[in-house]
Amino acid sequence: CIGDWMREWYLERPAAVMYGAASFQSYPLPQNKHAVFVGRLSHDTGVLEYVKAIQKLKGKMRLDIFGEGELQDQLEKMIAKTPYIQYKGTTQNVEQTLVSHRFAFVSRYLGIIEAQQVGRLVFAHTDTHIKTSYLSTFPTAIQMIRFHDAESLVSELEYVLAHPSYEQHLIQHAQTWAKQQTWDRIATIYEELWQQ
């Protein structure tokens, strides 16, 4: 199974649980207040909640958005008069996109692993019971910031900005686990399953 949440929602009894893999390098944390969203522009990724939160902060932070999807037109209208939020289209190099931003706004397993390998604090949107289970059963769930709406994200961002040592603590523990999520490890798990 891809994710332990499937035990509860599909009553699965998997022989192995995986979350994905990446091979990104570690990078120093930039001394800025820039966040990046990388993902589909759809309701389930929380992109509109990220935008609303940054708008509520009124220029205290910057947000760059990478992705495409059914909310693109709505998103572009929503941010048209917000100079500190920019829609950048798609990215061909997620690693380099993450490097120049302090915070990662992602809520899919692969995106979380990539951001944590680079050494970025993840803010993940939960809007349904299944999404809450999907994220809360992720191995580094307690090292990411999970939020339900724009107001709660604003509170979380303000707290993290005021407590950089807390941010560093979360990043360090998440990165330790994320660095172990390699493609070689995934291949080994599959080989072991095939041999059964």
Interval 108-124 mean pLDDT? 98
Average pLDDT, the chain: 96
Interval 20-46 mean pLDDT? 96
Helix and strand totals (H; E) in the chain: 9, 6
pLDDT at 184: 97
Instruction: Find how far residue 21's CA is from the centre of its chain.
Output: 14
The overall longest dimension of the chain from CA atoms, in Å, is 58
**CA–CA separation, 65 vs 91, rounded Å?**
10
Look at residues 123, 174, 125, 131 and name the one whose alpha carbon lies nearest to residue 5.
Answer: 131
Confidence band for 191, pLDDT divided at 50, 70 and 90: very high
Interval 16-29 mean pLDDT? 96
Interval 115-136 mean pLDDT? 96
Interval 168-179 mean pLDDT? 97
Give the whole-number percent of the chain exceeding pLDDT 90: 96
Interval 28-43 mean pLDDT? 96
pLDDT at 115: 98
**CA–CA separation, 110 vs 127, rounded Å?**
19
pLDDT at 189: 95
Confidence band for 153, pLDDT divided at 50, 70 and 90: very high
On whether the CB atoms of residues 145 and 124 are closer than 8 A, the answer is yes
Write down the pTM of the prediction. Answer: 0.94
Within 10 A of 146 (CB to CB), how many other CB atoms are there? 20
Within 10 A of 43 (CB to CB), how many other CB atoms are there? 14
Which residue type occupies 86?
Q
The string of pLDDT tens digits covering residues 52-106 is: 999 999 999 999 999 999 999 999 999 999 999 999 999 999 999 999 999 999 9
